[in-house]
């Protein structure tokens, strides 16, 4: 790929430069990739129309109203929600669908898309779940079972792999049109994709953080390296057909 035909990816802003740069470094790699920061503060929704793909990043819990709840004082709830970010990123996803763009949704991004599509969240996975899935300092690490007959199994070519983990919420009821492609061994949904991919661009939601697996020395994992490679190929294929 030459500089003249760079892949242009819109990346939603996590709120911190360090975390944002993890995504940028992972996505760019050694390829001709140009990242555009998308955020409510930048008020640049229209930039999505110039992109070849979108990545919805992790971050603070989405407001419960996005999945039909008025309970905001649940265990491990944030001290402040970011409703402007919720609204902006909802619009980003909806515009991405209109533009037929490939979408990779990570952690919070995965949860938000599930809500947009009519699903809901388990607000807190409880003491045992939190012991396995989150930490106050570095990421936790656990196995992910990759379900047969899914795109993710095709991407990873594995039945099980090791993932990092930093969440206290998870997908509950699955959004319309989605199917589960990965679960943790305690039954939490760790990934989804379109159930019927016909005439739809790439969509992958993952609960882990492929962009920062280097922190646990598992950046070569199929749940990081293979996902990036497949995503880039999906983008290039979509560009050729538009």
**pLDDT by 10s per residue, the chain, length 242:** 434 479 999 999 999 999 999 999 999 998 999 999 999 999 999 999 999 999 999 999 999 999 999 999 999 999 999 999 999 999 999 999 999 999 999 999 999 999 999 999 999 998 777 667 877 767 889 999 999 999 999 999 999 999 999 999 999 999 999 999 999 999 999 999 999 999 999 999 999 999 998 877 765 689 999 999 999 999 999 998 87
Q: How far apart are the first and last CA of the chain?
A: 17
What pLDDT does residue 18 have?
A: 94
Q: How many Å separate Cα 154 from the centre of its chain? A: 18
Instruction: Let me know if 209 is a catalytic residue.
Output: yes
Q: Which residues pair with 146 in a beta bridge?
A: 182
Extents of the domains making up the chain: 3-240
Instruction: Let me know if 107 is a catalytic residue.
Output: yes
What pLDDT does residue 137 have?
A: 64
The pTM of the full predicted model, rounded to 2 decimals, is: 0.95
SS3 state of residue 27:
helix
| 8 A C-beta contact, residue 89 and residue 41 | no
Tokens 């242009």 sit on residue: 8
What pLDDT does residue 133 have?
A: 80
Which of the residues 20, 89, 107, 168 is marked catalytic?
A: 107
CATH class of the 3-240 domain in this structure:
alpha beta
Q: Please, what's the largest Cα pairwise distance for the chain? A: 51
């Amino acid at each position: 790929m030459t500089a003249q035909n760079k892949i242009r990816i819109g990346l939603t802003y996590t709120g911190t430069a360090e975390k944002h740069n993890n995504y940028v470094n992972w996505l760019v790699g050694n390829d001709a990739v140009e990242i555009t920061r998308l955020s409510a503060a930048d008020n640049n929704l229209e930039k999505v129309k110039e992109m070849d793909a979108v990545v919805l990043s992790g971050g603070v819990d989405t407001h419960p109203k996005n999945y039909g709840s008025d309970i905001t004082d649940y265990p491990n709830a944030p001290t402040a929600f970011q409703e402007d970010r919720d609204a902006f990123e909802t619009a980003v996803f909806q515009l991405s669908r209109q533009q037929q763009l490939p979408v990779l949704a990570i952690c919070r991004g995965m949860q938000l898309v599930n809500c947009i599509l009519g699903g809901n969240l388990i607000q807190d996975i409880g003491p045992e779940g939190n012991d396995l899935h989150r930490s106050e300092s570095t990421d936790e690490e656990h196995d992910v079972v990759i379900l047969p007959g899914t795109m993710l199994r095709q991407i990873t070519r594995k039945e099980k792999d090791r993932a990092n983990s930093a969440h206290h919420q998870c997908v509950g009821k699955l959004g319309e049109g989605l199917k589960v492609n990965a679960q943790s061994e305690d039954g939490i949904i760790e990934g989804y994709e379109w159930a019927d991919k016909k005439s739809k661009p790439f969509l992958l939601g993952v609960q882990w953080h492929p962009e920062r697996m280097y922190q646990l020395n598992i950046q070569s994992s199929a749940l990081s390296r293979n996902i990036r490679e497949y995503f880039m190929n999906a983008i290039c294929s979509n560009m050729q057909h538009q």
